[in-house]
Chains A and B, each alone.
Chain A
Amino acid sequence: DAKTTQPTSMDCAEGRAANLPCNHSTISGNEYVYWYRQIHSQGPQYIIHGLKNNETNEMASLIITEDRKSSTLILPHATLRDTAVYYCIVHGSGNTGKLIFGQGTTLQVKP
């Protein structure tokens, strides 16, 4: 699975959009981009995933560049409860499905 690069930390004001970037320049054609987050003292929680089209669900939006070498997770109206570590994971087919986590981005939402 391709490696990802994320900023170590980011701040966001409550009520504003949080935009979390991820670089995955070595991604291959059949690999999906997955996002999970981990709130303090909890297990990771799935947020969203995509292949090449932009995706939106009740939690977030995922914007993938046309060359698929980077993506951005958007939390449209961040709340204090969105403070967490966000992990961008690139994952391909034909394997066990184990997730390879990096260091993630620590998002601090401030009042």
Chain B
Amino acid sequence: GAGVSQSPRYKVAKRGQDVALRCDPISGHVSLFWYQQALGQGPEFLTYFQNEAQLDKSGLPSDRFFAERPEGSVSTLKIQRTQQEDSAVYLCASSSRLAGGSAKNNEQFFGPGTRLTVL
């Protein structure tokens, strides 16, 4: 089956514009994660969904960032009034592990990411 897909792959936005980034996880995966990766850095956690419930949004840097997964499959990360410091690669990952479960089976499958450049 297909892996995790993300769209668009590249997005250029003018400062102040709103953007929406899409993630299609592996079919049947209950868990979905968003990460932000600045240039030269490791990915940093943004938010986590189990099915349609957003169980952890502790990594969202400001209230301009909003994520949803209304039907428990596709997810959208929205950034309002983009700023230059939002420029980064946004990665989506999915897994079959439930929150609170064993760490024995936490293999996450990542998409290719969306590279956002804010001018």
What CA separation (Å) do A71 and B97 show in the bound complex?
Answer: 24
Q: Which residues of B contact A93 (CB under 8 A)?
A: 100-104
Q: Which residues of B contact A92 (CB under 8 A)?
A: 103
Does B103 lie within 8 Å of A91, measured CB to CB? yes
Total residues of chain A contacting the partner, CB 8 A: 28
Provide the main secondary structure of the chain A interface.
loop
For residue A43, CB closer than 8 A to chain B, the reply is: yes
Q: What total of A-B pairs shows CB separation below 8 Å? A: 78
Does B42 lie within 8 Å of A104, measured CB to CB? yes
Does B31 lie within 8 Å of A101, measured CB to CB? no
Nearest CB in chain B to that of A103: its residue:
B42
Q: Which residues of B contact A95 (CB under 8 A)?
A: 99-100
Nearest CB in chain B to that of A43: its residue:
B110
What CA separation (Å) do A44 and B50 show in the bound complex?
Answer: 21
Q: Write the residues of chain B forming the contact surface with A, with a CB cutoff of 8 angstroms.
A: 4, 31, 33, 35, 41-45, 48, 50, 55-56, 59, 91, 93, 95, 97, 99-104, 106-113
